[in-house]
Amino acid sequence: MNIADFGLSGLGVLFWELSSGLPPFRTLKEHHVINGNREIPIEGAPADFKNLYCAAWNGRPDSRPDIEEICKKLKNMQLELFCKTFSNFKYSFSEKPEKIGEGGFGGIHKAYLEDMKQIVALKTLDHDDEEAFNREVKYTTKVKHASIIRFIGITQDPKTETYYMILQLANSGDLESYLKVHSSK
């Protein structure tokens, strides 16, 4: 069966079934479902996932999220779970972060992080490439050397939901700029 044949309501039911481990509609009759009754959301399921499948099986089709929104929310949930495995800091800065450069997948900013009482570098995920962000975090956390910028943790802007890697600030600028200046000597 093709997922398009299943419909978004069916996708919500599938998500419920995955979180419950039970077949759907065991206690509901067909007329109950037609009248808008749904299974009881599973206690203990992640709230974001529960809200997503309840929205997807909404009795009013025009109130359901479209497939792009569902995919985006699933990606954000995956990224959120990944980021929870690292030290998290409250998104609190005394001033707006100042853009100081551009990385492979987003901007690099300088800001005073209130939680740490120090100036740090923030590397953002500007593009829809969560895999690149995850890969960058994994590689950065594995390398521990005095000459390499230290990974400190992760923060998230609550307004934009943008994730930031918190890194040690390199006062001399980035590696590329350093090499350009010193390689001609």
Residues 182 and 185: their CA atoms lie apart, in Å, by: 6
Three-class SS of 9-62: HHHHHHHHHHHHCCCCCCCCCHHHHHCCCCCCCCCCCCHHHHHHHHHHCCCCHH
75 is in an annotated binding site: no
Choose among 11, 24, 3: nearest CA to 54: 11
Binding-site positions for ATP: 123
Binding-site positions: 123
